[in-house]
Structure formats: structure tokens, C-alpha cells
Chains A and B, each alone.
Chain A
Amino acid sequence: MAHNNLNLKLKVWRQKNANTTGAFVKYDVNDISDEMSFLEMLDVLNEKLIVTGEEPIAFDHDCREGICGMCSLYIDGKPHGPWQANTTCQLHMRAFKDGDTITIEPWRSNAFPIVKDLTVDRGAFDRIIQAGGYISVNTGNAVDGNSLPIEKAKADASFAAAMCIGCGACVAACKNSSAMLFLSAKVSHLALLPQGEPERKSRVLNMVAQMDKEGFGSCTNTGACEAACPKEISIANIARLNKEYLGASLTAE
């Protein structure tokens, strides 16, 4: 394949820490191979900043293969950038043209305070899981794995929901900062399995309560979350969540 080099202008959100206000800063980056990943392009810029005595741009990342959910970035108005079903770390510079200006911001949500520059604190997601996103089974209690056959279609649907990487793009995409897609993915993953049955009601009630406490907004069904989700978590999970929630509230004492 032929490769091109790009010259680009970046507008990047810089903010020293949670207690200061931030602002956009402009940078030129030149000779960027279109084979690079987006984060490698930022690496190149950071290397330049470091040797010229400036502070590099802080952004979260780890696996760089779309699975850990650590990377974020709101690129040209889209969480994880222009490609569908993709994380920022898997975005490649082929997606851009020579001369483009690219705007890069952090996830914006009251429930995700900014740590520095493009890095935010997503601890709220862990606390939602603590509220009930598990099956209460101590180590050593399990019966033989095959003693509980699970219909393939159900197992597959559960897996499709369990693919959520906890990145928070759904929240960043939503004008209300709702975490419903994330929450519905976890509730669906466990509710679709027979193992999840005993705690089905308390789980959904407690997790929703925690989500509200964290300051996420309400869901008005715009579908922006589904469109931004790198793992194509279906909005049908939100419908299932609502049903689970209603059912649980009606029968709760």
C-alpha cells in the first residue's frame, strides 16, 4: 500500500488539574505517516514538546488495541473520533487528510472530573459495579461448568453485552451525560444468564440508585450513546434495563 505523510493542525484542551480552568492550545504537527495510529501521532507531538522544554499532553491509554477501555478523547466532536465501532487507540491517521485541523477534548461530564489535560476520572463506573454488578459466589463454591447448559442464543446475547469496555464514550456522547448504556450492558450481561437470576432484582435497583448518586443525567433515548460505542453495545439493552427496573420496583417490598 502507498503511504502518505500529513501536515496537521491540532487544537488540544490543556488543563493543569481539576482545580484550574483549561483552554485550547494550538499545535502544528508535520510529516505524520498515515500508517500511524492517532495516539502515535500524539506521541510524536509529545516527544517534540519534551525536547523543547514544554510539558507533554496527558492522555490515558494502555492496551492500544481497543480492549482495556483506558483511552478516551473527544475528537472533532465525536468520542473516539470519526470511525464507527472503534476506540481512539485504534483510530489510524488514514482517517484524516493533509491540512486538516483536529480538535481534541477530554470526556465532558460532571461525573468524570478532569484530572489533567485529556485525562478524566471514571471512578464512578467502578462504584456502580460495586453497587451490584456481580454474582455473589465465593471462590470454591462452584459446581461443574457443564452442569448448567445455557441456550447458545442467550449465552451469545449475554456475551454481546459483556463486551463493554467501560470506556465512558456513551456518557461523553450523551447531551445529558447519562450512563444508561454502560449500566444496561452490565445488567443485561448478568440478567441473561441463569447464574444471575437470584440477585436479578436487587442488582438493578442498587446499580441504578448508585448511578443517580454519581451525578449522571437521565436517558432521553437519543441513541447518541449507541452510535459512539466502540463495542456496538445495543440500545436494546437500555430497553431491557428499563423492563428489569420496572419489574424489580413493582415487586420490591
Chain B
Amino acid sequence: MLDSKIPAGKLEEKWVDYKGHCKLVNPANKRKMEVIIVGTGLAGASAAAAMGELGYKVKAFCFQDSPRRAHSIAAQGGINAAKNYQNDGDSVFRLFYDTIKGGDYRAREANVHRLAEVSANIIDQCVAQGVPFAREYGGLLSNRSFGGTQVQRTFYAAGQTGQQLLIGAYQALERQVALGNVTMYSRHEMLDVVKIDGKAKGIIARNLITGELEKHFGHAVLLCTGGYGNVFYLSTNAMGSNVTAAWKAHKQGAYFANPCFTQIHPTCIPVSGDHQSKLTLMSESLRNDGRIWVPKTKGEPRKSIDIPEEERDYYLERRYPAFGNLVPRDVASRAAKERCDAGYGVGTSKQAVYLDFAAAIERYGKIEVSKQGLKDVTAEHIIAMGKEVVKEKYGNLFDMYAKITGENPYEVPMRIYPAVHYTMGGLWVDYELQTNVQGLYALGEANFSDHGANRLGASALMQGLADGYFVAPYTVGNNLADEIYNAAIPTTHPAFEAAAKAVADRIASLKNINGKQSVESFHKRLGKIIWDKCGMARNKEGLTQAIAEVQALKKEFWSDVRVPGEINEYNPELDKANRVADFIELGELMCIDALNREESCGGHFREEYQTPEGEALRDDENFMYVAAWENKGDHEWQLHKEELKYDVIKPSQRNYK
């Protein structure tokens, strides 16, 4: 059994006690401690800024040309916090409870409670940094609703919340760069963790411009490298998002937890053809106002706007009257798939459902009329005013939809379909966010810790910033306090030399295969296997096949991939080859994990385990654990279990009816 080092004591006192008793490093010693932070998304940029402010010597890495471009920038809808500014009954406990329930009782109580506790500080910190959150006319912060909750606790900046939060963290990071506390390495990719005496003591990074391999020492290494959704090839993640950093850590002994817990987001623009390189999310915030429906008739030939109200099936409102269009993501995605599989899908591919704003536009128009005290207004005028309101709320999303599809969503309903969006699984970490390798931490989407089997909307931004601003500075410090006697290790140490050589050898062997097929073509094939057999619905037979297929693909990749260009130059194809090689190995582990988990929970839906109404059927007796996998060599993994104990919340079947 794995020890998650959860502090003793009452749930609501654990974090307070921990902070009150953890070890500290005095300011003079902090200046001597070097901390490596890989990744500068919300988790990494906030950690680098906060650790820099404390006086540690920080080195931060990202593969983009600037830290401001991390995938976090794309987050649209919002960030949760238990502020209860709306006086609608929110509290730390309720946020904690919603997150545990939303995660289908597969997350750790202590971590999630801590997350809810620090959530309010995040908003305060961001406001102080100048993050321009949406405000009401009175000048106070505005909130909206997200799925899986009945309160309004989501803070936002139009449809660009991630951008504004990341710019805030980026500015704080650049301030530390200017002050000399952080050294920033952009266009650098971490390709291995260096371990000395079992502890993480540095990394090997490739300078992506020159191709040179660099050795960097750190008393601690923090991986803030994001999620692995791109294992599916098509996802809403940025093109460069990858699992390599986490996977290298895994190969160096760090356990990978719950890899099969991936999130399929219900509202994305459907696939339009084979050329498609990525999918675009239409934010969950749209479900505040949009109504989801399909025609009541199979293979309906009429256009959406010609189908009368009584012939539309608002299937979420029908199946889940209490939460309606705001059920959690896994529930909404499966419901869309169910309708499409049953033949009610719309659009040319029939793999889509409608997300309709007509009712919202009319409602907002009427509100405007009464706000402005207008009389004798025509129906068109009401609609026009309603469109203005909708534009202010979601304008950028509507524009994005129009550019991609060529259709005007103010006039016709959007067509949407579920797509891969987020990965709840990740590196196993304890309460301190430390992996089982000492000195190696994982923050943000790269770890597995807070969202169980399904993440609620607007909670990833919250978790990334919680980890970076408010958790890691304490927990990493607690462990660095024991390191103050250990001077920096020169990178001429044999362990660094050996790691650098192993990385160089691997790059050379990739390059030397000189086969016939492109990296991209392998990635597409991998994505198809994983999507078809380890996607929204899984079963034993499919998973068993998928494992064999992925193994065969790996063999083929290593004998027939073609990597053009040179090693010692800017070579994006080489970067991609490195990443896809790791995705292939991860794909196998995902299927193994999904096969092992003989229950359905959250985003993991095993067709063999469902209720008569088609809802996920958990097996708490046998599977109330975190599955943490240890790599034992080629195609070999050993399962370690961390038992989940619910002291405060009593697990029950999730009910959103």
C-alpha cells in the first residue's frame, strides 16, 4: 500500500496544522537552494514566481518561445472559488463536496479539501496582480455557473479566463526574472530526470534551437508539464502538449496513477475531415445559456430551425431535471454519444447534437427591454438586443465557431460533439505533491491528485494555481529544509553524464531509423486506437485488442519512422518523434489500467458495468483505490494501490436527476 502522507487530525485542520508545523528554510539558505521547474503554464509559472519571491534560485523551462504561450492560455470558461459572493450557500465544504462527488469518489479527501480552502486566496492574488475579471455595474466581481454544481462560484474574464490568469502568473514570473531570482529557459524541452542516490537532482534538457543537450542541477525538480490528452491525437489541447516529461519521470521510477481517467468534454466543434489537426472546445459556460437537443425523429432531414419545438428532444433536461444542461461532463458526453449511436445525431456526419441559444437570446432581449423601460418593442428588436447580451458574454466563442464552421451561431444552433479535453490521471503524488521519487514533484494537470475520475469545469485552473502559489512553496520548502547541508552537485557528476548520453543515444537511434512513414501518421493511428477502444466507452474485448495493436504500432514506429533534418538544429519533427514515441508507451498503459478497473466511474465507462438506466456503476468494494503503476521494463508494469478512505463524505451513487 502506498503512503500518501496525509497529516493526522480533522479534515478542516490538516492544512492549517501542516503549515504551522512544516520545516522552513531561512532566507540565507534559500538563496543557496536551486529549484528546477519544468513547465510554465498556470502551475509552473505560479510556482516559479512564488518560489522566486521566497528567494530560491529557480530555473524554469518551457518548450514554447515564451512562457506566456503555455496551453493554460486556452482555458476559456472560468475558475472556481468558494467565495460565496453570491450569497447562494457556497462554502469551502460545498466546493470540497462537489469536487469529490463530481470526481465520482475517486479523489483524496485531504487534497481536495485543501484545494477548496485555498481557492479564495487565488482570486484575491489574481485581482491584486491586475487580472481583469468580469465585473458587475457596481464594480464587484461577477460569477457564472458551471457543471456539477448548484451555486455560482465561477470567476471569469469573458471566454478568456485562462489567458488572463496565465498573463497574471507570467507577469509575476517575468518580474522574478528581472529581479534575478528566476532564470527562464524557453524553447527547451526536458528529456530526462537525473537521479543521484535515488533522489531527483536535475534534468537533461534539449535546447530546441541548437539541438544541444544541457545538464541542469536542482535540489528539487518540479514537473508542471500539463496533461496527456494528445495521446488521442485529436483533442482540444494545444498541438505541443505532451506526456514526455511525466513519462521520463515514470521511466525513472515515478508511479503513474489512474492513466485511464481521461475527460471527454461534451461541447466541442465536431470533426470535419481527415485533415483535422485538433478540435476546438466550446466552453462549458455556454451550457449556462445554451440548450442541448436532437430531433425526436431518427435521420431527421429538416434544418434545425425548421424543426418545431415539440419535435425536439432536450434529452439532458428530460433525463436529469435537477441539473438539466448543467450535469457534469462525463454524464453530458455519454448522453450525446447515446443519442448519436441511437441514430438521432445531426449534421453531415450524424455525429453531432445541437446547442441552441434562441431561447437565451429572447430571454436576455426581454430583460434588456424591461431594464431600459422600453415600450412597444418589436420582436426583432428584442432579438437584436438579446444578441448583444449574448455577444458580450460569449462573443469570442461565437466568432471562433463561425470561423471554423462557416456558420453563424447567432442565427442557427451550434453543432457540437464530445472531444478529449483533460486528463485526470498523471504522476502519483503524496499530500506534499511529491512523487514516490524523493525530490521530484508534480503540479497541475501533470499530477493525478484532485479530480478523481472526473474533473468539474473551472477546477483545473483553480488546482494549477493552488498547487503553484499556495501549496508547493510550503511543501517543497519542508523537504528542502533537509537539503541545506547538501551543496549543489556539479553537472560533471557521472550520473549527469550517463543521463545525457542515454538521451543522445535515443535521439540518434530515432534519427537513424530513416524509415518511410511520418511521425504524424503514427500519431494519428495511435489516436484512433485509443479513441475507439479506450475512449468514451470501453470493454474488455476492445481493450485487450488495443493493447496488442499499440504494441505492434510501437514496433513499427521504431523500425519505420522517418525523422527528417539534423539533430543539431531547430527540428520540430524530431521533437515530435520523441513525444509520439512516449505517447505510444503511455497508450498501452492506459488500456492496461482501463482493463484492470472492472467498474465504471466518472469518465471511465466500462460497458460491462452500468445501471439499468445506463449510468456508471461503481464498485467501491473492490476498486476504491488509486491505481499507481510502476514501470518494470518494456511492456511491463506493476500495480500499487493507494486505498481511498472517506472519513467525512459518504460515497453514494451520483445522482443529478
Residues of chain A at the chain B interface (Cβ within 8 Å) = 1, 16-17, 33, 35-37, 39-40, 43-44, 47, 49-51, 53-56, 58, 60-70, 83, 85-86, 90, 92, 94, 115-116, 119, 121-123, 125-126, 129-131, 133-146, 148-152, 155-156, 158-159, 162-163, 165-166, 189-190, 193, 195-196
Contact = CB atoms under 8 A, between A and B. Distances in A.
A232 B434 CA distance: 43
Nearest to A195: B130
A43 B277 contact: yes
Given A67-B74, A123-B65, A166-B66, A142 B128 contact: yes
Given A35-B406, A43-B275, A159-B134, 15 more contacts: A1-B407, A33-B273, A33-B275, A64-B278, A65-B280, A65-B400, A66-B400, A67-B73, A68-B70, A123-B186, A126-B177, A130-B174, A134-B174, A159-B132, A162-B157
A62 B66 CA distance: 12
Given A69-B69, A166-B68, A142 B277 contact: no
Contacts of B404: 37, 90, 92
Contacts of A165: 163
A90 B401 CA distance: 10
Contacts of B569: 16-17, 116
Interface stretch (B165-173, B292-300, B502-510, B606-614): B165-173
Interface stretch (B217-225, B371-379, B479-487, B516-524): B516-524
A194 B290 CA distance: 35
A56 B128 contact: no
B66 A55 contact: no
A137 B128 contact: yes
A49 B470 CA distance: 48
A44 B68 contact: no
A124 to B, nearest CB: 10
Tell me which of A50, A92, A125, A166 has the highest count of chain B C-beta atoms within 10 A of its own C-beta.
A50
B129 interface: yes
A35 B400 CA distance: 14
> Which A-B residue pairs are the 8 nearest by beta carbons?
A149-B139, A134-B171, A142-B128, A142-B124, A159-B132, A145-B127, A130-B178, A139-B50
Contacts of B548: none
B209 A69 contact: no
Contacts, number: 222
A220 B209 CA distance: 34
Contact of B135 (A1, A123, A155): A155
A195 B565 contact: no
Contact of B83 (A135, A142, A145, A158): A145
B510 to A, nearest CB: 14
Contacts of A94: 406
Contacts of A68: 64, 69-71, 73-74, 238
B121 to A, nearest CB: 7
Contact of A64 (B277, B470, B518): B277
A63 B238 contact: yes
B125 A159 contact: no
B570 interface: yes
A136 B171 CA distance: 9
A40 B275 contact: yes
A133 B121 CA distance: 23
Contacts of A133: 171, 174
A50 B572 CA distance: 12
B562 interface: yes
Interface in B221-255: 238-240
A149 B67 CA distance: 30
A118 B85 CA distance: 48
B163 A130 contact: no
A63 B281 CA distance: 11
Contacts of A58: 570, 572
A133 B85 CA distance: 30
Contacts of B69: 62-63, 68-70, 166
Contacts of A39: 277
Contacts of B572: 56, 58
Interface of B: 46, 49-50, 53, 64-71, 73-74, 83, 85, 121, 123-130, 132-141, 157-158, 160, 162-164, 167, 170-172, 174-175, 177-178, 184, 186, 209, 238-240, 272-273, 275-278, 280-281, 399-400, 403-407, 469-470, 473, 516-518, 520-521, 562, 564-565, 569-570, 572-573
Contacts of B164: 159, 162
Given A134-B172, A159-B132, A51 B49 contact: no
Contacts of A36: 273, 275
Contact of A139 (B136, B140, B403, B473): B473
A114 B184 CA distance: 20
A196 B130 contact: yes
A60 B160 CA distance: 21
Nearest to A134: B171
A37 B570 CA distance: 24
Contact of B400 (A55, A90, A137, A142): A90
Given A70-B65, A90-B404, A130-B175, A142 B125 contact: yes
B246 to A, nearest CB: 18
B125 A140 contact: yes
Contacts of B139: 149-152, 155
Contacts of B46: 139
A189 B131 CA distance: 9
Contacts of A121: 65
Given A86-B403, A133-B174, A62 B238 contact: yes
A40 B66 CA distance: 23
Contacts of A83: 403
Contacts of A119: 570
A131 B171 CA distance: 10
Contacts of B134: 155, 159
A14 B241 CA distance: 26
Contacts of B562: 50-51
B403 to A, nearest CB: 5
20 contacts: A37-B277, A50-B564, A51-B516, A51-B562, A61-B239, A62-B64, A62-B238, A63-B238, A68-B74, A70-B69, A85-B399, A126-B177, A126-B184, A133-B171, A134-B172, A135-B128, A140-B469, A143-B124, A155-B139, A193-B132
Nearest to A90: B403
B167 A162 contact: yes
Nearest to B131: A162
Nearest to B274: A33
B232 to A, nearest CB: 15
Contacts of B280: 64-65
Tell me which of A56, A62, A83, A90 has the highest count of chain B C-beta atoms within 10 A of its own C-beta.
A62
B570 A17 contact: yes
A87 to B, nearest CB: 10
Tell me which of B71, B127, B177 has the highest count of chain A C-beta atoms within 10 A of its own C-beta.
B127
A133 B130 CA distance: 11
A148 B130 CA distance: 11
Tell me which of B46, B70, B178 has the highest count of chain A C-beta atoms within 10 A of its own C-beta.
B178
Contacts of B178: 130-131
Contact of A145 (B123, B239, B405): B123
B132 A134 contact: no
Tell me which of B69, B71, B170 has the highest count of chain A C-beta atoms within 10 A of its own C-beta.
B69
Contacts of B67: 126
Given A56-B564, A126-B174, A159-B158, A148 B127 contact: yes
A36 B275 CA distance: 7
B161 to A, nearest CB: 11
B127 A195 contact: yes
A52 B517 CA distance: 10
A140 B469 CA distance: 8
Given A64-B238, A68-B73, A121-B65, A195 B128 contact: yes
B129 A135 contact: yes
Contacts of A40: 275-277
A122 B66 contact: yes
B642 to A, nearest CB: 30
